[in-house]
Structure 1
Amino acid sequence: MKSILKIVGVVFAIIITVYLAYFGLGERNVFSYNHINLGLDLRGGVSIVYEVEGETPQASDMAAAVAMIQVRLDRENYTEAEVAIEGDRRIRVNIPGVEDPQEAINSIGATALLTFEDENGNVVLEGKNIKSAVFQLADMGMGNEAVVAIKLDDIGTEAFKKATEENIGKPIIIKLDGEIISAPTVNEAIRNGESVISGSFTEQSAAQLADRIEAGSLPFALIPVSSSGVGAKLGMDAFNSSLQAAVVGFIIVLIFMACVYRLSGIVADIALTLYVSLVVIILSLIEATLTLPGIAGIILSIGMAVDANVIIFTRIKEEINSGKTVRSAVDSGFNKALSGIVDGNVTTLIAAFVLYMLGSGIIKSFATTLGIGIVLSMFTALVVTRILLRSFVAAGLQNPVLYGGTKR
Structure 2
Amino acid sequence: MLHFARWKVTLVLLVVIVGLLFSIPNLFSDQELQDDYPSWLPNSKIVLGLDLQGGAHILMQVEKEGIIEDRLEILRGDVRSALREDKIGYTGLAARDGAVQVRIRDITQLDAAREKLQDLVQPVSTSLLTGGGAMETSLEVNDDGLMRLVLTEEGITSRVSNAVAQSVEVIRRRVDELGTTEPSIQREGEDRILVQVPGLQDPDRLKDILETTANLSFRMVDTSMAPETALQTRPPLDSEILYEADDPQNPTAQENRVPYLVKKRVLISGDELDDAQPTFDSRTNEPVVSFRFNTSGAKKFARVTEQNVGLPFAIVLDDEVISAPSIREPIRGGSGIISGSFTAESANDLAVLMRAGALPAKLTIVEERTVGPGLGADSIAAGEIAGIVGAFAVVIFMIIAYGLFGIFANIALAVNVCLLLGVLSFLGATLTLPGIAGIVLTVGMAVDANVLIFERIREENNYGRSTIAAIDAGYSRALGTILDANITTFIAAVILFSLGSGPVRGFAITLAVGIVTTVFSAFTFNRLIVATWIKYRRPSNLPI
TM-score using structure 1 length: 0.71
Matched position secondary structure for 2:501: coil
SS at 2:475 equivalent: helix
Does the 8 Å CA contact 1:99/1:230 hold for their aligned counterparts? no
Decide whether aligned partners of structure 1 residues 127 and 224 sit closer, same or farther in structure 2, where only a CA change above 3 A counts.
farther
State the identity %. Answer: 35
> Closer, same or farther in 2 for the Cα pair 1:162/1:245, shift >3 Å?
closer
Match of 1:255 in 2: 396
Quick check: 2:299–2:332 contact (8 Å CA) kept in 1?
no
Alignment map for 1:26-45 (pairs within 5 Å):
27-28=33-34, 35-45=45-55
Stretches of structure 1 lacking an aligned partner (at least 5 in a row): 135-146, 152-159, 188-196, 199-208
Contact 2:416 2:518 survives alignment (8 Å): yes
Equivalent-residue separation in structure 1 for 2:315 and 2:493 (angstroms):
44
* 1:101 and 1:227 in contact (8 A); partners too: no
Task: Pick 1 or 2: higher relative contact order, CA cutoff 8 A, min separation 6.
Answer: 1
What is residue 49 of structure 1 aligned with on the other side?
59
| Aligned mate of 2:379, from 238, 245, 255 | 238
**Deviation of the 1:342 alpha carbon:** 1.0
Query: How far off is 1:64 after superposition?
Result: 3.5
Distance, in Å, in 2 between the alignment partners of 1:263 and 1:399 is 14
- TM-superposed CA distance for 1:246, in Å, is 0.4
- Which letter maps to 1:89? D
Q: In the alignment, is the contact (CA less than 8 A) between 1:127 and 1:213 conserved in 2?
A: no
Q: Of the candidates 409, 414, 431, which is equivalent to residue 268 of structure 1?
A: 409
Paired position in structure 2 for 1:194 = none
Render the CA deviation track for 1:113-158: whole Å, top value 9, x for unaligned. 222357999776389897x999xxxxxxxxxxxx96989xxxxxxx
Q: CA deviation at 1:42?
A: 0.8
- CA-CA distance at 1:18 after TM superposition: 4.3
Counterpart amino acid of residue 269 in structure 1: N
Provide structure 2 residue ranges, at least 5 long, that are not aligned to the other structure. Answer: 65-155, 223-259, 275-292, 324-330, 336-350
Q: 1:186 & 1:251 partners in 2: Cα distance?
A: 72
Residue 89 (str. 1) matches residue 99 (str. 2): no
Alpha-carbon separation, structure 1, partners of 2:428 and 2:220: 43
Corresponding position of 2:471: 330
What does the per-residue CA deviation read over 1:227-266, in whole Å, with 9 as the maximum and x for residues that have no partner?
2222211110111121122022212212221221122212
Please give the secondary structure, in 2, of the residue aligned with 1:395. helix
Residue number in structure 2 paired with 1:112: 214
1:122-201 aligned within 5 A: 125=266, 165-167=303-305
What is the aligned partner in structure 1 of residue 508 from structure 2? 367
Pick closer, same or farther for the CA change 1:236–1:31 going to 2, 3 Å: farther
**Whole-Å separation in 1 of the counterparts to 2:388 and 2:315:** 55
SS of residue matched to 2:365: strand
Q: State the Cα distance separating 1:307 from its structure 2 match.
A: 0.3
Number of residues paired by the alignment?
Answer: 358
Q: Flag the 1:374–1:74 CA change in 2: closer, same or farther, 3 A.
A: closer
Structure 1 distance, partners of 2:501, 2:363, is: 19
Residues 117 and 310 of structure 1, relative CA distance in 2, 3 Å threshold: farther
Following the alignment from structure 1 to structure 2, what is the Cα–Cα distance between the partners of residues 163 and 23?
51
Give me the whole-angstrom Cα distance separating, in 1, the residues matched to 2:466 and 2:180. Answer: 63
Question: 2:21, 2:422 within 8 Å by CA — same for their partners in 1?
Answer: no
Matched-pair contact (CA < 8 Å) for 2:460–2:473 = yes
Q: How far, CA to CA, are the matches of 1:79 and 1:119 in structure 2?
A: 42
Contact 1:7 1:388 in 2 (8 A): no
- Alignment partner of 1:222 out of 356, 363, 370: 363
> What TM-score do the two structures reach when normalised by structure 2?
0.55
Pair 1:317-2:327 in alignment: no
Alignment match, 2:519: 378
1:66 aligns with one of 157, 164, 168: 168
Which amino acid counterpart does residue 33 of structure 2 have in structure 1? Answer: E
Where is the helix percentage greater, Structure 1 or Structure 2? 1
1:394 maps to: 535
Tell me if structure 2 keeps the 8 A contact 1:68–1:112: no
Q: Would you say the 8 A contact 2:211–2:364 is kept in 1?
A: no
- The one-letter amino acid paired with 2:195 is V
* Counterpart residue type for residue 233 of structure 1: G
Kindly provide the CA deviation profile for residues 332-384 of structure 1, in whole angstroms up to 9, marking residues without a partner as x: 11222122111111111111111111112111111111110011101112211
Aligned counterpart, 1:357: 498
What pairs with 1:284-323 in structure 2 (closer than 5 Å)?
284-323=425-464
1:75/1:319 Cα in 2 relative to 1: closer, same or farther (>3 Å)? closer
Q: 1:156 corresponds to which residue?
A: none
- State the shift of 1:81 in Å: 3.6
Q: SS at 2:443's partner residue?
A: helix
Higher alpha-carbon deviation: 256-265 or 349-358: 256-265
| Separation of aligned partners in 1, 2:179 and 2:197 | 11
Moved more, 72-81 or 253-262: 72-81
Bigger Cα Rg: 2
> Displacement of 1:67 after TM fit?
3.9
